[in-house]
Amino acid sequence: MGEIIFLLLLAAIGGYYYYESLGYTVGRFDTTGGGGLFPRAILIVLFVLLAARLIEILVKKEKAPFKFFGYLKGVGGVFFISFVLFVLLIKPLGFVVDAVIFALFTVNFLYYKAKDDKKLGGTKAIIIRTVCIIGYVILVNWFFTGVLHVNLPAGVLKNIL
Amino acid sequence: MLSQVILATLTDPYFILLAALGAFIGICFGAIPGLNTPVAIALVLPITYSLNLNHTLALIMGIFMGGISGGLISAILLKLPGTAAAIATCLDGYPMTAKGQAAEAMAIGTFASFFGGIFSAIILIVATPALSRFALSFGPWEYFGAIFLACTLVCTLCDGSFLKGMIATCIGILLATVGLSPIDGQSHRMTFGWSELNSGFSLIIVVIGVFAFTELIRSTNRLKEEKTINSYEKKLFYFPNWKRMWRQKWNLVRSSILGTFIGVLPGIGATEAGMFSYAQAKRFSKHPELFGTGIDDGVVASEAANNAVTGGALVPTLSLSVPGDPSTAVILSALTIQGLQCGPMLVIQHQDIFYTVIIAVLLANIFMYVIQACSIRFVVKIIEVPLYYLVPAVVLFCAVGAYTINNRSFDLLSLLLFIVIGWILADNQYPTMPLIIGFTLGSMLEAYYRRTLSYYGDLPHALISPSFGTVLVAIGILFPIINMLLDRRLARKKAQEQENAD
């Protein structure tokens, strides 16, 4: 059922695109059908393929569950959510602060999950890890701003960096 | 021209350095199970923005050559192929390790990889201009046919349902249509009024989002995978015994020819080449019963063939813009990002670029051999780096790289969207590589489609025209159908055999 919903969702988005493409302007001397013709041709192929897949599912009675939210589950899910936060906060916090928070959280979280004893290690190990992470972020910041001459958001460290 | 290019590239320290760096990165990514060559190439794409074309070629070819070969390290030491291309290497490589011959296996495998790579590079030099000259007579319809063929063939390359592959290809092509329409520039397609979407989605964002980041983040679900490295003799340079190598001369040549030929064919790559070549080596061997017990022949056959695929796969990529395997598909994206359009004109009109590719390939193979032979001890250490350090570090570095493409947060937000798309597809056995191919070739496909309409008036006229383009389109339609029917027949036969066995 899950995959059928996915296919119908794709068909709905495709249908919207098809409808929208009918309104695209075609130049007076354009003999190629304008900007909407090619997407429409691909959309027709897509609709045929979606229908074929739908028939395949119904005929074979495939019951494998369709995973819509796999990216929100398990360790990978937590990592993905923290990456989403990293992306959303990069402008206000700035790259250095945002990246340090992201790396500190993800490294320690993954470390915790990887160990059977579910511990973060001794105090010394935590301190070394933290120093290495901060060093790494500063190195990446230097590489992009100093070597490749690109601007990264400074955020809260605007007056320092 | 050639001497000028040789002089310009070999006197450029950055070119040499980047080829070496690329080979090292490729070997590391190839050696780490779960990561592979296309992922490595995709991850360096943001960095290539700040490099010129020559340097980009050096880096990417280095990764390509190193990545295919690097898989042998974990295949031999861990019995876990670093890349799918090294599956056949496990069959005899690991038993050699068990017999205490790990150093010999790695030395032989590395040399076979080098031989296969150089052999296929020579074929690349000869075959690409010939194919390009043939393709010079192509008009828009023929180009459309070639790209259409690439799009359909790539679906047969991927595991799983052909229908799912084609759906992914269509999604990729449709994503490529977002933004201002080409040729007339009149329609704002699916932009929802956002000016950021006028130029469409960035190719880098799509490639690293759908493919590389999805793979990386998903790998965090396998944090507890054991990686037990077997003990091996630690040497400064892993050099094969010449007498043993001489006995493999015909095996080396045969496997290299097979690998190159398989590489040229779009749709099948290094994995199939390694397995097929291994089977052929066994067939031609005087002692086929020894295969799988840890003999040189098996390692040589697999490694020479899988590295020979590299040069072979570049032939259709450079001359027709049709990628031969997943790695060349990402390379095609990288070259497109650099503003380079592959195709017959590349070889005919931009010979300097073609020669640079050749030199980059040759140099990358040399570096691959030297670095791999010298650095196996260090690469093994990288295999041991836990994922909880590796993944956040790589993700962070590449996310910043993605941000720097246009210096805007919108690219990072679209990166999230593509991670979600890639994840949903991968979780449900929809191959992601066709989506990337569709996105990479989508705009070219549209441009040639519209030029064809302009030339022939309408599609039916083009379809009934006695041209090579019609043949290519027909193959593009028929080949996957035949492939699908054969697959079904094979599956039915297998099911029947199992039924009989039960």
pLDDT tens per residue across span B93-142? 888 887 878 888 888 999 999 999 999 999 888 888 887 777 777 888 98
* Cα separation, B248 vs B257, whole angstroms: 14
Q: Which domain holds residue A108?
A: 71-157
Structure tokens at B452: 């064809």
Task: State residue B309 phi and psi, 5-degree precision.
Answer: -60, -30
> With an 8 Å Cβ cutoff, are A70 and B427 in contact?
yes
Closest-CA distance, B389 to chain A, in angstroms, reads: 6
Instruction: Enumerate the domain spans of chain B.
Output: 2-225+238-501
Q: Is the pLDDT of residue B159 over 80?
A: no
Give the SS3 label for residue B188.
strand
Which amino acid would we find at residue A147? V
pLDDT score of A86: 94
Is A82 in the same domain as A153? Answer: yes
**Minimal CA–CA distance to B113: which of B366, B294, B363?**
B366
Whether B173 shows a pLDDT value over 70: the answer reads yes
Both A104 and A34 in a single domain? no
Contact call for A102 and B177, based on CB within 8 A: no
Q: Mark whether A89 and A152 lie in a shared domain.
A: yes
| Least confident window among A113-117, B264-268, B380-384 | B264-268
> B52 in helix, strand or coil?
coil
Instruction: Give the per-residue pLDDT at A50.
Output: 95
φ and ψ at B35, to 5 degrees? -105, 155
**pLDDT value for B398:** 79
A66 occurs within a structural domain? no
Residue A93 lies in a domain: yes
Residue B168 tokens read as 């992914």
**Radius of gyration (Cα) for chain B, nearest Å?**
22
A69 has pLDDT over 70: yes
Answer whether residue B36 shows pLDDT above 80.
Answer: no
Indicate if A104 and A136 belong to the same structural domain.
yes
pLDDT exceeds cutoff 80 at B227: no
Close Cβ partners of B95 (under 8 Å, ≥ 6 residues apart) = B292, B293, B294
Kindly tell me if the per-residue pLDDT of B470 is higher than 70: yes
**Per-residue pLDDT at B267:** 58
Tokens 């590391």 correspond to: B28
- H helices of B321-350, in order, are 326-337, 344-349
Q: How far is CA B496 from its chain centroid? A: 36
Token digits of residue A108: 């320690």
Query: Residue A16: pLDDT above 90?
Result: yes
Of B393, B407, B19, B381, the residue nearest A136 (C-alpha): B393
Is the CB of residue B398 less than 8 Å from the CB of residue A143? no
Check CB contact under 8 Å for A80 and B419. Answer: yes
pLDDT, position A106: 94
* pLDDT, position B290: 85
Average pLDDT, chain A: 88
**Residue B317: CA count within 13 A, CB half-sphere:** 29
CA-based nearest residue in chain A for residue B180: A35
Q: What is the mean pLDDT of residues B34-59?
A: 83
Q: Are residues A50 and A85 in the same domain?
A: no
Q: Is the residue at A102 inside a domain?
A: yes
| Contact call for B187 and A75, based on CB within 8 A | no
Inter-chain touch A76–B220, beta carbons under 8 Å: yes
- Predicted confidence band of residue B202 (pLDDT cuts 50, 70, 90): confident
The mean of the pLDDT values for chain B is 84
Question: Do A120 and A55 share a domain, yes or no?
Answer: no
Contact flag A35-B186 (C-beta cutoff 8 Å): yes
Nearest CB to A25; choose among B186, B386, B388: B186
For tokens 């302009």, what's the residue?
A: B454
Inter-chain contact A99–B400, Cβ cutoff 8 Å?
yes
Q: Do A153 and A77 share a structural domain?
A: yes
In angstroms, what CA-CA distances link B394 with B202, B225, B478?
A: 20, 19, 42
Is 70 exceeded by the pLDDT of residue B294? Answer: yes
In sequence order, the β-bridge partners of residue B189 are B179
Mean pLDDT of the region B362-385:
82
Q: How far is A24 from chain B (nearest CA, A)?
A: 6
Q: Based on the fold, state whether residues A9 and A47 are members of the same structural domain.
A: yes
Report how far apart, in Å, the C-alpha atoms of A7 and of each of A3, A135, B156, B213, B481 are: 6, 46, 21, 24, 22
Select from B31, B58, B20, B64 the least CA-distant residue to B328.
B64
Q: Is the domain of A45 the same as that of A85?
A: no
* Residue B316 predicted with pLDDT over 80: yes
Asked if residue A65 belongs to a domain, the reply is: no
The whole-angstrom distance between A28's CA and the closest CA on chain B is 11
For testing the chain A interface, which of B177, B216, B387, B456 should be mutated: the one with the most A CBs within 10 Å?
B177
Domain boundary pick from A60, A89, A109: A60
> Has residue A17 been placed in a domain?
yes
- Average pLDDT of the segment spanning B210-220: 81
Residues A75 and A153 in one domain: yes
Average pLDDT of the segment spanning A42-68? 89
Question: What's the CA gap between B121 and B408, in Å, rounded?
Answer: 40
Quote the pLDDT of residue B229.
62
Check residue B1 and give its pLDDT: 72
Rounded Cα gap, residues B300 and B255, in angstroms: 8
Q: Rounded to an integer, what distance in angstroms lies between the CA atom of residue B396 and that of residue B399?
A: 5
The rounded distance, in Å, linking the Cα atoms of B80 and B229 is 10
Contact B427 A67 (CB under 8 A): yes
Of B221, B396, B409, the CB nearest to A75: B221
CA distances from B314 to B61, B203, B215 (A): 10, 20, 25
Residue of A nearest to B226 (CA): A114
A119 assigned to some structural domain: yes
Into how many domains does chain A fold? 2
CA-to-CA separations, B177 to A16, A32, B172, in angstroms, rounded: 14, 16, 9
